Amino acid sequence: MALKIENTLKRARALRRLPGSDSPLELPRMVKDAMAFLLERFERHGPVFKTRFFTPIVFLIGTEANKSIMVTRRTEFSFGRGYGITNANVVFDGSIMLQDGAEHKRTRGMLTPAVGRLAVQSSGEQVYRIWSDAVERMAAADSFDAYQGAEHATFDVAANTITGLDLGPETDSFRPLMHTIIGGMMAPVPYRIPFLSLDRAVKAREAIIDLMRPKIQAARRAEEPPGLVGLLAQYRDEDGTALSDDEIGRHLILLFWAAYDTTASASSWILHTLAYRPDWQERLREELAAVPESDVGLLETNKKLKQLDWFLYELERMYPSALFFPRVAIEDIEYNGHVIPADTPVFYSPYMTHRDPATWDQPNTFDPDRWDPDNDRSAKLSHLVGFGGGPRLCLGRAFAKLQLKIQIYTLLRNHRIEPVPRCVPKVQGVPVHHPTDSYLRLVRL
Ligand code: HEM
């Protein structure tokens, strides 16, 4: 008991010495304008500062900090405990997000071939069909909201490719359940209380698993395991034990969430940015003109599409899908002359690091040409962390990039995209970073 009190006091003293504020007003200030909040504190306090989102949190910012958290000193930080302080602890119980060490390695080893199946040509063709329909819908409307348009199409893609649901009524019945799960992630009360958001999210998760059960069981019996569900259904560990329906369902729901929310954000930034950059629409349209429709599923492996790559790197730099990601310090951590006490949540931030003038020339300017290797001030890919890094690098990066490239191909092939005159777009920072009130229209070429 005395030791516990001693440790609590030691922790409080160490936290007090860190720059920043742990006032309870920090969270409402952050929610009001997350981007301004983060940049202001980074400018004022430098690369190590504390704040409070329910509990005190320390931000470590900059390319060195990212490398330490994700690679060189990663054993000092727990990924699983980081997500464990969020509602993922309840909503995504039993998933890779709450794991570390050998347990994580095993799950990642199991999910990697299944997710790898998504980034292949045949699934690219499925994505192309979905995005072609989405573009037709956008073109038929007088105008559309960038985020809503992107969100609808990326939901269909995730439902169809990850969970193997049919488009139309089956996917539509899944939509409110998945939104209830995502709502649970943001529930202000982190406990399961009947009828409140977190309880509803867990019930929605169980309902989705029930919806998936016949598909999982059919995939177990199939000779050729169909898609991602099939690979998980026929997976055997080294003792020959299969995953239960419930385990498969939980992995699928986690993959769905990881894929959909993030890609919806990136995809909405594509729509918004292209609309305001007709020069880049032209450049990309010209580059993509050489790609026949039959090769859309190979866009991610086509090394000739340099400008498309630069455009997407720059999009990831300026508009990462999430502004920050959590870890927990496993032990007392000395960093840059500061001591971060054990058990403190420590966050890294793609948003702040990608706008750090110590790393980037004119960080607030959207300039895809900075990725041209022939350019003197060429930017370094190793400084981009929009998909994380090290052994926890995003498992779905190749598939996400494939979808974003297909989206651009489909959009620019027959249309010009432009903002609706006099609309005043804004930006939402949390839980996912995306433009709001960005009304656009497609004009047939
Ligand atoms: C534009 C789209 C995407 C973005 C920006 C993105 C971003 C990220 C980031 C930053 C992480 C690391 C989080 C951390 O360090 O705390 C991550 C992890 C992960 N992502 Fe993605 N992601 C995207 C799409 C996808 C897709 C399509 C899938 C699956 C099909 C996926 C599955 C995962 C999984 C399973 C992890 C956890 C990996 C592990 O812990 O080993 N993501 N993603």
Question: Picking from 124-128, 173-177, 373-377, which range would have the lowest pLDDT averaged per residue?
Answer: 373-377
- What does the DSSP assignment read for 253-311? HHHHHHHHHHHHHHHHHHHHHHHH-HHHHHHHHHHHTTS-GGGGGGGGG-TT-HHHHHH
Atom of ligand 1 nearest to the CA of 321: 5
Quote the CA–CA distance of 220 and 324 in Å, as a whole number: 38
b/e 165-187 (16+ beta carbons within 10 angstroms → b)? beeeeebeebeebbebbbbbbeb
C-alpha of residue 387 to centroid of ligand 1, in Å: 6
Q: In the beta sheet, which residues pair with residue 145?
A: 439
- Is 403 within 8 Å of 154 (Cβ atoms)? yes
Please give the span between the terminal C-alpha atoms of the chain, in angstroms, as a whole number: 73
Quote the CA–CA distance of 409 and 431 in Å, as a whole number: 28
Q: Is 266 in the pocket of ligand 1 (CB under 6 A)?
A: yes
pLDDT confidence of residue 71 = 98
Identify the CA nearest to 341 among candidates 21, 1, 48, 15. Answer: 15
C-alpha of residue 52 to centroid of ligand 1, in Å: 25
**5 pLDDT exceeds 90?**
no
Give me Rg for the CA atoms of the chain: 22
Q: Is 392 in the pocket of ligand 1 (CB under 6 A)?
A: yes
Band of pLDDT at residue 303, cut at 50, 70 and 90: very high
Give the angle subtended at the CA of 69 by the CAs of 65 and 73, to the nearest 5°.
105
Quote the CA–CA distance of 294 and 276 in Å, as a whole number: 29
Q: In the beta sheet, which residues pair with residue 345?
A: 328
**2 pLDDT exceeds 90?**
no
C-alpha of residue 260 to centroid of ligand 1, in Å: 10
pLDDT in tens, 35-85: 999 999 999 999 999 999 989 999 999 999 999 999 999 999 999 999 999
Q: Which residue from 395, 407, 432 has its CB within 8 A of the most atoms of ligand 1, so it is best to mutate?
A: 395
pLDDT > 70: percent of the chain: 100
Q: Give all strands (DSSP E) within 222-307, no chain letters.
A: none
* 3 state DSSP class of 62: coil
Band of pLDDT at residue 11, cut at 50, 70 and 90: confident
pLDDT in tens, 197-253: 999 999 999 999 999 999 999 999 998 877 899 999 999 988 999 999 999 999 999
Average pLDDT, the chain: 95
Tokens read off for 328 = 């927990």
**7 pLDDT exceeds 90?**
no
Which residue's CA is the nearest one to ligand 1's atom 39? 392
**407 pLDDT exceeds 90?**
yes
Taking the model in full, what pTM does it have? 0.96
Q: Is 325 in the pocket of ligand 1 (CB under 6 A)?
A: yes
Our separate counts of H helices and E strands in the chain read 17, 12
Q: Is 108 in the pocket of ligand 1 (CB under 6 A)?
A: yes
Quote the CA–CA distance of 129 and 225 in Å, as a whole number: 22
